[in-house]
Amino acid sequence: MTEKTAVPSMPREVWVMVSASFVIALGYGVVAPALPEFARSFNVGVTAASAIVSAFAIMRLVFAPSTGRLVNRFGERPMYLLGLFIVALSTLASAFAHSYWQLMLFRGLGGVGSVMFSVSAMGLMIRISPPAIRGRVSGLYSSSFVLGSITGPLLGGALVGFGLRVPFVVYAVALFGAIAVVHLQLRGSELATIDTSSTAAAMPLPAALRIGAYRSAVGTAAIFGWVYAMRVSLVPLYFSIVLNQPDGVAGLALATYACGDVLAMIPSGRLSDRIGRRPLIITGMIILAVATLALALTHSVGAAFASTLVAGIGTGMVSPAQQAALADIMFGHGRGGPVLVTYQMSQDMGTVIGPVAGGFLAQQWGFPTAFTVTAILAGCSAAAWIMVRDTMVVRAA
């Protein structure tokens, strides 16, 4: 009788990164409610205030290729810590900005640090995750970020009462604390120490692009960026404008979407370790497509809430399975390099284009058109994964 392979325990390094992810997301959510109003306090219009958010995303895109080269040269852990330090410093500087252009500059620098630590974190999580539980690790890591994103705005809304600069100071202090913890806990860790041998060089991008699952993952990342932007920008407006609901209800819709995410992430991550990544990604994208299409066709508040919850479950099924698939593809390579950078840039591009394209569709032809296009994109992603092989190597039971 064949003995079942023992499931490896969760490495301590994973818990360190998960905790840091929660703090980072929590802090980002803390400054989110204050940032637009802080920008407007310098006597600028709504468009200029919104541009502060765009500057962060644009700098992520611009600096992403350089990040890949830095990670290749110095490794993930140093670049992760340096990226966090840049974000912490720029956030603290933002708290003491005396003009709109100073705030724009400091937030832009924060985008540089953000792409550095996010790309490095992906590479680091790939290397410290045992192959047998990659999906489980990805689900835990993703859910920690979402939980931080949910909690952050609540705390940020309370801190704004003490002044618009206070959330930035709190976020900076939290980041400095996270830097200290990660540095101390990962110092000397064998898992977090990069292999500099020639056999563990970064995977060349052309080699990754020859893998169908990687091409599908890059495309899905762009669509995920679009979906995230649609969720943040269009869903609240839909509840306010079409369903005639107050702002508080619109905010509750975002929380409902996030709850769907959290409910699905850890179970789907575990399941992807048993049956493969591809079934979870395909099913999740189909659920997302159907739920988004249902949102486009309803004028009922109850049905709209149900649709957002189900759509969140769909994205929650996809996220950990897709991250695990990326880890499968890159297994055996010491550095993420251009493969991870291209993936991250694709998602950032979707995040930048999504609000503009989705807003244009909603303004010209109505919200149902914008949601329908989003549903079609999700369906295309599911179809792309149907055409490729699973990345997970099936292990003997």
At how many degrees (to 10) do helices 247-275 and 277-297 cross? 160
Q: How many domains does the chain have?
A: 2
CA angle at residue 317 from 228 to 341, to 5 degrees?
A: 55
Judge whether 263 lies within some domain: yes
CB-facing half-sphere around the CA of 218: CA atoms within 13 A: 17
Judge whether 347 lies within some domain: yes
List all residues 6 or more positions away from 20 whose beta carbon is below 8 Å from its beta carbon: 84, 178, 181, 182
Judge whether 6 lies within some domain: no
Same domain, residue pair 205 and 219: yes
Same domain, residue pair 84 and 113: yes
Same domain, residue pair 48 and 133: yes
User: What are the tokens at 8?
Assistant: 């490896």
Burial tier of 178 (Cβ tally within 10 Å: 0-12, 13-18, 19+): buried
Same domain, residue pair 138 and 209: no
Same domain, residue pair 127 and 270: no
Same domain, residue pair 117 and 232: no
> Which of residues 143, 159, 194 is at a domain's end?
194
Give the CATH number, domain containing residue 391.
1.20.1250.20
pTM summary value: 0.81
User: What are the tokens at 311?
Assistant: 């759509």
pLDDT of residue 248: 65
Same domain, residue pair 134 and 180: yes
List all residues 6 or more positions away from 396 whose beta carbon is below 8 Å from its beta carbon: 2, 5
pLDDT of residue 85: 95
Judge whether 4 lies within some domain: no
Same domain, residue pair 344 and 249: yes
Judge whether 261 lies within some domain: yes
- C-alpha radius of gyration, the chain, whole number: 21
Q: What are the phi and psi torsion angles at 280 (to 5°)?
A: -70, -40
> Which of residues 194, 213, 233 is at a domain's end?
194
Judge whether 188 lies within some domain: yes
List all residues 6 or more positions away from 248 whose beta carbon is below 8 Å from its beta carbon: none
Judge whether 226 lies within some domain: yes
pLDDT of residue 379: 93
Judge whether 2 lies within some domain: no
Same domain, residue pair 232 and 316: yes
Per-residue pLDDT tens listing for the chain (397 residues): 334 456 677 788 888 888 988 888 888 878 876 777 788 788 877 567 667 777 787 888 888 888 877 877 787 888 899 999 999 999 999 999 888 899 889 988 998 998 888 888 888 888 788 878 888 888 888 888 888 877 877 777 777 778 888 888 988 999 999 899 888 888 867 655 654 444 456 677 888 888 888 999 999 999 988 888 777 777 877 887 788 877 667 667 877 888 898 899 989 989 988 898 999 999 999 999 999 999 888 888 889 899 999 999 999 999 889 988 888 887 655 555 788 888 888 888 888 787 778 778 887 888 888 889 999 999 999 999 999 988 876 443 3
Structural domain range at position 50: 11-194
Burial tier of 251 (Cβ tally within 10 Å: 0-12, 13-18, 19+): middle
Tokens 């956030």 found at: 91
Please count the residues of the chain. 397
User: What are the tokens at 166?
Assistant: 């206070």
E strand spans, the chain: none
Tokens 């192959």 found at: 131
> Which of residues 176, 194, 212 is at a domain's end?
194
